[in-house]
Amino acid sequence: KNCPVCGTPLAPAKEGDADLRCPNARSCPAQLRGRVEHIGGRGALDVEGLGEVGAAALTQPLFPEVPPLVTEAGLFGLTINDLYPIQVRVWGSDNVETPYRRRRQKKDADAFPGDTEYVPSSAALKLIDELEKAKSKDLWRFLVALSIRHVGPVAARALASYFGSLTAIRAASRDELAAVEGVGPIIADALLDWFAVDWHVEIVERWAADGVPWAIPDHNGPGSNVVADGVLAGVTVVATGSLEGYSREEAQEAILRAGGKAASSVSKKTDFVAAGPGAGSKLGKAEELGLRIIDAAQFKLLVEQGPSALD
């Protein structure tokens, strides 16, 4: 009946939902920890040191009483001083550790003057450095990092490529959002609902103030980056499994760059299924539907030269 972490009464996320969720999305420490871990994940900003343990330290430490992050809005404004006092319990024991500071040695006197006993740990310095580097990541990765319902890498890439900036996305109407290839009405509604929440808007504004650009350099406005005459124009491709020479994101990017549609699921409308080791159920569905299945070498030819290269 109640969230086991924050105690909020459980409820459906929207009318008609069968499952119950904690509606305290902003302040539930467990939800915040999960979102921060998602931000650091490979599918979003890929920040080393912002995994499960790091996210817990920043959102649910033993000390200080008020954690460094009370929402993800403060993530890119974190400093060494914010990390320094954190104390956490070692998982599976009663021991307490301070992951972001270590005992001072004589050689640290000049580099870190002031504290006679402790200096920042390598983990603290690494995390601050990684967060700074993350500010230069692609726009689509930041869209994924916002944890907007239904907005995964495929939809995020489509939105970023078409609109070029968060400002243009927020200014778009429902119909304009839904009309983008790979988006549709469900994702359009999810975007509008997300930006209607004040603390969500605070996240993007704080990140912008702390150096996140929220735009693709030299993008010429909505629709200008659509590849209408690429070698895969009008072609739908599903990439699944491990394709040699491509990460999952790189394979999707190659399809989009060639003007094709990078679909996330296999259907009768799919033209090609590029399958590598670990393809799983998508390969089985493609075989069942009698679709054209290609390997990594053929995929490379497809995105570079088009379907005719496979004839």
Secondary structure (H, E, C), the chain? CECCCCCCECECCCCCCCCCECCCCCCCHHHHHHHHHHHHCCCCCCCCCCCHHHHHHHHCCCECCCCCCCCHHHHHHCCHHHHCCCEEECCCCCCEECCCEEECCHHHCCCCCCCCCEEECHHHHHHHHHHHHHCCCCHHHHHHHCCCCCCCHHHHHHHHHHHCEHHHHHHCCHHHHHCCCCCHHHHHHHHHHHHCCHHHHHHHHHHHHCCCCCECCCCCCCCCCCCCCCCCCCCEEEEECCCCCCCHHHHHHHHHHCCCEEECCCCCCCCEEEECCCCCHHHHHHHHHCCEEECHHHHHHHHHHCHHHHC
- Give this prediction's pTM: 0.77
- For residue 173, the model assigns a pLDDT of 96
- For residue 11, the model assigns a pLDDT of 94
Of the candidates 301, 266, 259, 263, the residue with the CA atom closest to the CA atom of residue 280: 266
Cα angle, residue 157 at apex, residues 244 and 13 outer, rounded to 5°? 115
Distance CA 14, CA 21 (A): 10
Question: Burial level of 94, CB count in 10 A (0-12/13-18/19+)?
Answer: exposed
Distance CA 141, CA 221 (A): 19
The ranges of the chain with pLDDT < 50 are none
Residue that has been written with the tokens 């409820």 in this structure: 11
- For residue 109, the model assigns a pLDDT of 67
- For residue 13, the model assigns a pLDDT of 81
Distance CA 124, CA 99 (A): 8
Cα angle, residue 24 at apex, residues 20 and 26 outer, rounded to 5°? 135
- For residue 223, the model assigns a pLDDT of 65
Of the candidates 247, 260, 263, the residue with the CA atom closest to the CA atom of residue 296: 247
- For residue 62, the model assigns a pLDDT of 93
- For residue 14, the model assigns a pLDDT of 80
Tell me how far the alpha carbon of residue 260 is from its chain's centroid: 22
- For residue 228, the model assigns a pLDDT of 62
